[in-house]
Each structure stands twice: as structure tokens, then as C-alpha cells.
Structure 1
Amino acid sequence: MPLAPEPITADPPTSTAHPLLTQSWLDLAFLHWAVDPADVSPLLPADTVPDTLDGATYVGLVPFRMHRVGWFRLPGVPYLGTFPETNVRLYSVDAQGRRGVVFRSLDASRLIPVAVARALFRLPYLWSRMSISHGEDTITYTSTRRWPGPRGAHSRITIRPGVRIQEPTALELFLTARWGMHNTSYGRQMYLPNTHPQWPLHRAELVECDEDLTTIAGLPTPLGEPASVLYSPGVAVRFGRPARPGGIPTP
């Protein structure tokens, strides 16, 4: 019998003593739209269902700067491990009650990390031309896809970060307090746990959003105005070993 979903909390899980991967996520914009769970369900891995809040689930468009990806306890790589990224993600829960995210696409500007992530973890990474630029009080993220396509798939997002959030709403916690990823790798269902400090979150104003990444990822169109726009300066992240259904770590 499926277990009830775990509680949503901003408090991170126990620190990963022997991390598989380390990295930092910096200068993040979180754009989210409410969607019908029936539209999302066919896009999720087997043994997961849409995670919902008040009957709705969400699609997220999240541009940010990946910083110094590293393996195990080795120092993060400064050049190959540092690059802009933009992901389209959905919200999932499995039979063990573990809440997570499912990535429909991950555009990144470094070809070697894209190739490694596609080969080792079967993640939908895509090589794109990308930039992050800071204005006087705004941040602009741009992305144009190169490989494997469709070539020209794009996003241009500009936000204006506001004041720091002291008490996140239930929705803001639902969208950001995620401690794992569901994925299918070589025919096996996997859950990859992560831990990091509590998010420092700011509400933000959306100045510009021109993108087709969400529709190419299989989401309904048009999405309209986002239900939530947030910004975070970032956190340092550790990923643990992937686990199969039932919570058993892979060898």
C-alpha cells in the first residue's frame, strides 16, 4: 500500500556523510505555474504520481548558476563544473511517500557535463548557449538550445528580486523544500536524495518571460501568468547515493 507523503518542511534532512556529488546552486529564479495533475501524470516516471497542494500540481522553470560541481569529497571543478543552467521540473511523490522533483529538461552551457549526466544518470540534459547578467536591480537569464535539440528552443527571463521572506507560505515551501529527485535510469526507477541549508528566499517581480521550454517539455500551453515568482542567492548542496524503490541504495 502506498505510504502517505512525507511532511513538507523547510528543515533539511540529515547531512550526507559520504556525498556522491557536491555543488552550489546560485542566483536562482523560481517561476511556477499551477497545472492539472492529469496533464502531468503521463510525464512522470513509473511508480510516481503528481504531488499536489490543494488539488493542483505545478511546473517550474528554474534558471540559475551551477557552481563547482565535485565528485565525493573532491574539490569542485572551477570551469567545467561552473555554468548557467535552466531546468523545467515537475513535482512528484512515490509509493514510499518521498516527495521530489522530476526534470523534463535541463539546459546547460557546458557540453562535457551535459554528455556525462546523459550517459551516467540518463538525465535530460541539453547543451545550450546561455548567459546570466545583472542589471541595476534585475537579473536576466537567457538560453538558446544547441544539442540535441530542438535547436533554437529558448528562454529569456528577467526578474527583480524583492525583500527577504521571513515566513514562507505553504505554497512557497511546497515548491522549494524538495530533498530528492525521481528519475528512470537504464530502465530502473531511482530516487537521488539531496540536502542543503534552508533556502534564503525572496519574492520577486517578473519583468520579462519569453520561453518555449515548458511546451517543448510536454506541458500545456498557454500557461499564462505564473502563480509564484521567487529568487534565492543560493545554497551549497550535497547529493547522496541513489536509492531504488523501497529506499534501498544502489550498489
Structure 2
Amino acid sequence: MVAYEAEQRVRVPALRAGWLRQTFVHWAFPPDAVQALLPEELVVDEYEGSAWVGLTPFLMADVRPPAVPALVPGLPTFAETNLRTYVRHRDGTDGLWFLSIEVACPLMLVARVVGAPYNPGTLSVSLNGDVVSYAGSRRVGEASYRLVVRPGDPITPTERDVWLISRWRAYTRRLGMLWETPVEHEPWPLAYAAVDVLEETLTSAAGLPAPTAEPLVHFSEGVRHVRLGASRPRVTAPGPSGE
């Protein structure tokens, strides 16, 4: 089941970081439109009969190996933006599937080795008074976005909010195998957010139809104690018949 707090401990992280100034923009889509973009091992995770796709820009802060403390000066901080959807492995385990990941730091491209769909580009996150602005354009191709939001009052997450935002593993596919990356961090502190500007072509670049309804939007100041585990092949145990 989807959980508000991490479902597992990442005792030996491969990477530590903070995810800051994150906005979650979610649209409902027909499940068939999203299922067509998934590998055969995964099925769309539906909420009230819809698949959901999230555009999530943020700052990746204090990125470091596990033994390095966050107070060390000079740790990299850069913008990243994910386009993601919500899935279940055919054994029932829930997680994320990234349709695309835009990143301003070329070092993150190493994650392509396990199939993470990183695209290098020019990205920015800026704060001006009570307004947070995000922008990005892919280095290759025409995919881009611009988002301006005004965070509001803190909220207590609803069941749907937890379902959308609190996921603790990501799936990728590479070399004919499904890979799983676990994550652990404190619960997201959420707030309402009003949208001043929303322009994006990431959904169409991923092969989705244009969103037909207004998005659901949340803002978070972020989580500072992110522990990403090592990616590992996801092997499904054979059933009693050996299938």
C-alpha cells in the first residue's frame, strides 16, 4: 500500500541529497493512454478510475556520497524536473515510472546505465517574494516548460495527496531488465499552490495526449534527508508451477 512515510529503510544509500522548492502538478489521464507508455512488467496504478501524471520541478541540493555530511562546502545544487506516472509491478508493488527527467547537471546522466530517462538541458528555479518560478528547455529537441506558482497555506494531506506524492521506489528498464531504486526521506510538508503560468510540451513529447482538465497543484519547501539506494534488477520469484 502507498504510505505517508517511507516503506523501507535505505541503510546503505548510494546517494544523499535534499529535494527543495518542489511543486507537484498532476493531471488525470485515461489509463490506456498511460499504459501504452509502460514496459510489460508494469501496470498503471489508478486512483478513482484515472491514471495520473505529475510534472515535478525542484532543486536537487547538497548532492553527495553517503559518508559526506551536508555541511561540507561546495556540494552541487542544481535544478531537475521529472515527468512521472504511478505504477504497480505485476506482483502488486507500487512505485514511480519516469516518462522523462530534465536535468541541469551532466553528472546525473550516469543514471542512464539503469535506464533513467535523463535529458540534459537548461533549467532554472527562482524565488521572488512569494512567487516561485521554474523554466527549462531540453538540449536536444523542443521539449520545454515554464511554471510560476504562488504557494499558500500548509495542508494536511488527503488520501489522494498521499497516493500521488508519497512513493518509495522508482522503476526503470535497461538491458532487457526491470530495475528498482528505493528511496527514503521524511514525509513531504505540503501547501496549497496557485498557478500564475503553466506552459509545457513535456507531456506531448512523452507521447501523451493534451491534458483536458485543470491540474491539481501542491507546493513543498522540500525534504532534506533523501537517501537513494542502489538500483538493482527486479526479479520476480517463480510461481509454484515454475512459471
TM-score normalized by the length of structure 1: 0.87
Deviates more, 1:80-89 or 1:187-196: 80-89
Q: Which amino acid in 2 is paired with 1:134? A: L
CA distance in 2, matches of 1:86, 1:80: 19
CA distance in 2, matches of 1:18, 1:134: 34
Q: Is the 8 A contact 1:45 1:182 kept in 2?
A: no
| Equivalent position of 1:154 in the other structure | 144
CA distance in 2, matches of 1:78, 1:184: 35
Matching residue within 218, 226, 234 for 1:237:
226
| Equivalent position of 2:241 in the other structure | none
CA distance in 1, matches of 2:73, 2:195: 31
Aligned residue pair count? 234
| Equivalent position of 1:201 in the other structure | 190
CA distance in 2, matches of 1:221, 1:78: 43
Q: Is the 8 A contact 2:28 2:211 kept in 1?
A: no
| Equivalent position of 2:204 in the other structure | 215
CA distance in 2, matches of 1:222, 1:95: 27
Shift of 1:15: 2.5
Aligned positions of 1:22-41 closer than 5 A: 22-41=16-35
Q: Which amino acid in 2 is paired with 1:233? A: E
Aligned positions of 1:107-146 closer than 5 A: 107-114=102-109, 116-118=110-112, 120-146=113-139
Matching residue within 14, 31, 48 for 1:20:
14
Shift of 1:159: 0.7
CA distance in 2, matches of 1:28, 1:92: 21
TM-score normalized by the length of structure 2: 0.90
Q: Is the 8 A contact 1:138 1:159 kept in 2?
A: yes
Shift of 1:81: 3.6
Q: Please give the secondary structure, in 1, of the residue aligned with 2:98.
A: strand
CA distance in 1, matches of 2:231, 2:105: 24
Shift of 1:111: 2.1
CA distance in 1, matches of 2:37, 2:235: 18
How large is the RMSD of aligned CA atoms in angstroms? Answer: 1.8
Matching residue within 64, 67, 81 for 2:61:
67
CA distance in 2, matches of 1:69, 1:245: 29
CA distance in 2, matches of 1:46, 1:108: 27
* Identity between Structure 1 and Structure 2 (%): 36
Q: Is the 8 A contact 2:27 2:211 kept in 1?
A: no
Cα distance change, pair 79–109 in 1 and its aligned pair in 2 (3 A): farther
Q: Please give the secondary structure, in 1, of the residue aligned with 2:36.
A: helix
**Structure 2, unaligned runs of 5 or more:** 238-243
Shift of 1:10: 0.4
Residues 124-156 of structure 1, C-alpha deviations (whole Å, 9 max, x = no match): 11111111111221100000111xx21x32100
